[in-house]
Structure 1
Amino acid sequence: MSILENLILTNITKQRDTSPEGTARQKLLDALALQSEAATAAMKGEMFIRRVGRWVDVDGTKEHKEVPVRFRPWWFKDEAGTVHLHIRYGNKPLELKPGKSVVTVGTMEQLVPVLEQVRQAVTAGELDKAIAGAVASRQRVLKKPATAAKAGKPAQ
């Protein structure tokens, strides 16, 4: 008897959300996971260093190495020591409700559970409007050609 005969074989492909909303949602989820990892390290008193793979030139040959890159935490403390959290898409803070873009967390111990709640809200699609607004503001605005050039007239 073959080993493959003992397995249950099917013809199913993995479902991925490749819509623009799904791609933006996944980007935000990845960023939230990174922030959660950094918050956990900060609570333990450890230094968080984000590393990415880059091709670097070493003695005339290119090598793939893990290099440290800049990391910006989304949280900050006010004068009273209260922790606040900006949810960002790219470098823009998301407006969670009209006129409100900051979540008041309280203490550092509460930061990871709040990030988990935000992750659940993103997964449920509650922040899709805010993400769409951030995506729209990041898109480049193309200049329209001059009306003379449109009509085929030479520009003077």
Structure 2
Amino acid sequence: MSALTSLKLTASKKPSSVPPILHRRNKLSTKIWEQIQLANAQKAGDTFTVKKFKTVKDVDGSSKSIEMQKRVRPWWFVSSEGKVCVNVRYGAKLIELAKGKTAVEVATAEDLIKTLEVIKAAVEAGELDGQIEQASGAVRAGFGR
């Protein structure tokens, strides 16, 4: 028992569900992480792919899970002035970072990575919760047709 006396023991239990806004925040944070990895890979001249599992049926009719590559599309583009601009997306919807502004302009690939990291930190801190909620509502509304 002497080993356990050095630990801080508490009476705590795991929550059974995650609040919806926290789930959406984590989802967007994961997508931004993918964009950071994609930017790092393009800077290094490599490719970046994310693996996902898909269930398919054999000729026999039995289901099996196969590993596939998920396509990660870059959120950045080159504007007409030659600057690199990056959008933040939740599903197919653009998130408005400020009133009427949906893109961040950067100069280099290194600045792109730093900008994505700043945006990821803002998402994790909850600074974009209102915009995420609005974009989520717009995405959900598209499924109701």
Name the TM-score class by shorter chain.
Answer: 0.7 to 0.9
The reply to whether residue 66 of structure 1 matches residue 67 of structure 2 is yes
How many equivalent residue pairs?
Answer: 140
Deviation at residue 16 of structure 1 after TM alignment: 8.6
1:79-105 superposed Cα distances (whole Å, 9 cap, x missing partner): 554221000111111011111000112
TM-score w.r.t. structure 2 length?
A: 0.82
Query: Partner amino acid for 2:73?
Result: R
Q: Please list, as runs of the form range in 1=range in 2, the aligned pairs for 1:1-156 lying within 5 A after superposition.
A: 6-7=3-4, 8=7, 9-14=9-14, 18-58=18-58, 60=60, 61-79=62-80, 81-140=82-141
Query: Partner amino acid for 2:3?
Result: N
Conservation of the 8 A alpha-carbon contact between 1:17 and 1:23: no
1:129/1:16 Cα in 2 relative to 1: closer, same or farther (>3 Å)? farther
Moved more, 31-40 or 57-66: 57-66
SS of equivalent residue, structure 2 residue 18: coil
Moved more, 29-38 or 48-57: 48-57
Conservation of the 8 A alpha-carbon contact between 1:87 and 1:93: yes
Distance of 1:5 and 1:55 partners within structure 2: 49
Query: Partner amino acid for 1:37?
Result: Q
Distance of 2:59 and 2:133 partners within structure 1: 46
Moved more, 6-15 or 33-42: 6-15
Question: Cα RMSD over matched residues?
Answer: 2.5
Q: Which stretches in structure 1 are left out of the alignment for 5+ residues?
A: 144-156
Higher relative contact order (CA 8 A, sep 6+): 2
Q: Which stretches in structure 2 are left out of the alignment for 5+ residues?
A: none
SS of equivalent residue, structure 1 residue 31: helix
Deviation at residue 139 of structure 1 after TM alignment: 2.5
TM-score w.r.t. structure 1 length?
A: 0.76
SS of equivalent residue, structure 2 residue 52: strand
